[in-house]
């Protein structure tokens, strides 16, 4: 879809799927809510990348093409925040702008 690149990164003990497009000095990270996927943000990814932003939308832990650990105790807010921090580290990002949908 419109040059959106898909990658799988091993972070925080799981394989995480991300969709990204664009280049630029600023990065916008989009996080989906329940029960959505990266696909929720497809229009925003394309629009903001055309304005000079690097845009990234992962499938969060247990969703889409990202691994789903078998134990409910693996889905605490600490795990999810840890996944996002590990994702930023893996991508070499010190700072992002955020977008989220509940």
Whole-number pLDDT of residue 96: 87
Distance CA 21, CA 42 (A): 10
34 has pLDDT over 90: no
Model pLDDT for residues 45-73, shown as the tens digit of each residue: 999 999 999 999 999 999 999 999 999 99
Whole-number pLDDT of residue 102: 45
Distance CA 50, CA 68 (A): 33
More confident residue, 66 or 100: 66
Q: Report the chain's mean pLDDT, rounded to a whole number.
A: 93
Cβ-in-10-Å burial (0-12, 13-18, 19+) of 29 comes to buried
Cβ-in-10-Å burial (0-12, 13-18, 19+) of 64 comes to middle
């Amino acid at each position: 879809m419109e040059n959106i690149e898909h990658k799988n990164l091993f972070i925080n003990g799981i394989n995480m799927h991300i969709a990204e497009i664009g280049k630029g000095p600023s990065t916008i990270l989009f996080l989906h809510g329940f029960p959505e996927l990266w696909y929720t943000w497809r229009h925003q990814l394309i629009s903001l990348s055309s304005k000079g932003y690097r845009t990234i939308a992962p499938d969060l832990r247990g969703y889409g093409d990202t691994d789903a650990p078998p134990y409910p105790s693996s889905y605490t807010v600490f795990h999810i925040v840890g996944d996002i921090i590990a994702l930023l580290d893996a991508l070499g990002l010190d700072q992002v702008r955020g977008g989220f949908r509940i």
